[in-house]
Amino acid sequence: MRLAILSDIHSNLEALEAALKIVEGKSPDAILCLGDIVGYGANPNECIELVRQNCDIVLLGNHDAALLDQSITYYFTPLARTAILWTLSQITEENIEFLRTLKMTATLDRFFLVHSSPTQPETWQYIIDEEDAKPHFSSFREEICFVGHSHIPGIYSLDGKESVVHHGKRYIINVGSIGQPRDRNPHMSFGFFDSENWTYELIRAPYPISTAANKILRANLPSVLAYRLFEGS
C-alpha cells in the first residue's frame, strides 16, 4: 500500500495544490489528511473542498475543532485565535457540517492516524522531538503512528530520532506541515509511505509563497502570518 500523508494545511491553497500535484504523480493507493485544514491562511473553504475531493481519510485537528467549539481558542495564541475568528466569518455552512463529521483518530492496516498524539488526542499534545515521542508508544498498538500538529517533521522510535524506518521497529512519524512549516524550511512538507517496500519519504517542495502571503495581507489577517511563510517559522 502506497500512502500520501498530509497534515496542517492551514488554509494555504497554494501549498495544498502543489502537494496534490506531487501526490498525483506518485499514484498512491490512498491520501490521508491528519487535520488542521483551516487556520492562519486565507483560503479555508477552498482547502476543505480540495481535501474532501481528494483524501480518503480526514481527521479533525485542533483548528478545525475550534470552528465547532470556540472555547478551544482559549488555549490558542492571539494570532491563532484571530485567524480562527476570521475563518468563522468566511466558512460555509456546508464545510462546517463536513468538519462535524470528522473523528480524531483512525486506523488503516498497520497504521494509527491522529492529528496531535495517540495519548488523549483531545488534549492536543505536541510531539516535537524524541523525548516528546517516547511516552506515547504505549498508547497505540500499530507499527507506525502518523501525526502532525507541531509542524516539525521527524521519525521517532523508542531508541530516539531516526532517519529511516526499519521493519520490526515501531515508530511515531511526524509528517510536518503543508501550509505552515516551522522547522526553518519554508518548503511545504508531507509524508509518503510504501508498505510493500517499508520505506518512508519526507517530501519537501516549494510552492508560490508570495501568492499565499499576499492573500493573507489582503484579507487583513495579521501580517506576521504572511511573513512567517517565507521563513518556515
List of residues 6+ apart from 63 with CB closer than 8 A: 10, 35, 36, 37, 38, 39, 40, 80, 84
The neighbour count for residue 1, using CB atoms within 10 Å, is 13
Judged on CB neighbours under 10 Å (0-12, 13-18, 19+), 67 is: buried
- In the block, cell 498525483 appears at 24
Give the C-alpha separation, 143 to 168, whole Å.
8
Give the C-alpha separation, 65 to 111, whole Å.
23
The neighbour count for residue 161, using CB atoms within 10 Å, is 12
List of residues 6+ apart from 168 with CB closer than 8 A: none
Give the C-alpha separation, 199 to 28, whole Å.
13
Q: For the chain, 233 residues long, give each residue's pLDDT as a single digit of tens.
A: 999 999 999 999 999 999 999 999 999 999 999 999 999 999 999 999 999 999 999 999 999 999 999 999 999 999 999 999 999 999 999 999 999 999 999 999 999 999 999 999 999 999 999 999 999 999 999 999 999 999 999 999 999 999 999 999 999 999 999 999 999 999 999 999 999 999 999 999 999 999 999 999 999 999 999 999 999 99
Task: State residue 173's pLDDT score.
Answer: 98
Domains defined for the chain, CATH in brackets: 2-231 (3.60.21.10)
Give the C-alpha separation, 52 to 36, whole Å.
13
Q: What is the dihedral of CA 95, 152, 24, 171, to 10 degrees?
A: -110
The neighbour count for residue 52, using CB atoms within 10 Å, is 14
Task: State residue 115's pLDDT score.
Answer: 98
What is the total residue count of the chain? 233
